[in-house]
A and B are shown apart, each in its own frame.
Chain A
Amino acid sequence: QQQVKQSPQSLIVQKGGISIINCAYENTAFDYFPWYQQFPGKGPALLIAIRPDVSEKKEGRFTISFNKSAKQFSLHIMDSQPGDSATYFCAASRASNTGKLIFGQGTTLQVKP
């Protein structure tokens, strides 16, 4: 059972465009939703995270939008750059069990110059 579903599997965007990756979750007990960025040969690294008491969080060119009623959250990358080309994972966890992150399937983003 996939508790966190991520789409699309791959994404190609032109430099300067907006990249949008979507995730949906099933467990309403989840209350921490991070996004991770992974470059080839490296471990994932936290990009941005949100808790369900806010509907949006922005850090530089990266924004998380959160819809609690729909159990969905998304990552928006504004002014996408070739250096953003990487694999992105959404994840979810419960604050009471913070060693246990459940990941989405991942999205491979390619930003064309």
Chain B
Amino acid sequence: NAGVTQTPKFQVLKTGQSMTLQCAQDMNHEYMSWYRQDPGMGLRLIHYSVGAGITDQGEVPNGYNVSRSTTEDFPLRLLSAAPSQTSVYFCASRSVNTEAFFGQGTRLTVV
């Protein structure tokens, strides 16, 4: 039972590069979310989705894009990486009557 799988686990980018963080869940959950975790700031919501084809912005959406073409996948795209996007990124999924399950995280460094 894989749960929520994030890839890659670690990534170093140069300023201006783009990349996609992958997130997949095998629990058939409707809701998926992306958070970033920074010291002293908790987890802040970047984007979320309530179902395939439906996405919305969270607290800190600037510089990130998402799409949800399937129930299982919810990739996060960094369009032009900046040092301020150095963080640990977590993907989560849940259903109406379940808790939120988190992936193991992606540690991103932008130099």
A105 at the interface (CB under 8 A from B): yes
A-chain residues with CB within 8 Å of residue B103 when the two chains form the complex:
43
Does B99 lie within 8 Å of A46, measured CB to CB?
yes
The one of B31, B45, B105 in contact with A102, judged by C-beta atoms closer than 8 angstroms, is B45
B-chain residues with CB within 8 Å of residue A78 when the two chains form the complex:
none
Does B99 lie within 8 Å of A34, measured CB to CB?
yes
* A: interface residue count bin: 20 to 34
B96 at the interface (CB under 8 A from A): yes
Interface SS of chain B = strand
Does A100 lie within 8 Å of B42, measured CB to CB?
no
The one of B33, B41, B42, B102 in contact with A43, judged by C-beta atoms closer than 8 angstroms, is B102
Does B58 lie within 8 Å of A103, measured CB to CB?
no
Does A98 lie within 8 Å of B94, measured CB to CB?
yes
Does B45 lie within 8 Å of A44, measured CB to CB?
no
The one of B32, B40, B43, B96 in contact with A44, judged by C-beta atoms closer than 8 angstroms, is B43
Does A42 lie within 8 Å of B104, measured CB to CB?
yes
Does B48 lie within 8 Å of A103, measured CB to CB?
no
Does A9 lie within 8 Å of B40, measured CB to CB?
yes
Docked Cα-Cα span, A102 to B103, in Å, equals: 17
B49 at the interface (CB under 8 A from A): yes
A69 at the interface (CB under 8 A from B): no
Docked Cα-Cα span, A19 to B105, in Å, equals: 27
Does A103 lie within 8 Å of B40, measured CB to CB?
no
| A residues 30-61 in Cβ contact with B at 8 Å | 34, 41-46, 49
Chain B residue nearest in CB terms to A104:
B42
Chain B residue nearest in CB terms to A34:
B99
The one of A4, A46, A101 in contact with B33, judged by C-beta atoms closer than 8 angstroms, is A101
For this complex, 27 residue pairs linking A to B, each with C-beta atoms less than 8 Å apart, are A6-B42, A9-B40, A34-B99, A34-B100, A41-B104, A42-B104, A43-B4, A43-B92, A43-B102, A43-B103, A43-B105, A44-B43, A44-B102, A46-B100, A89-B43, A97-B50, A98-B94, A99-B30, A99-B48, A99-B50, A100-B33, A100-B48, A101-B100, A103-B43, A104-B42, A105-B40, A106-B42
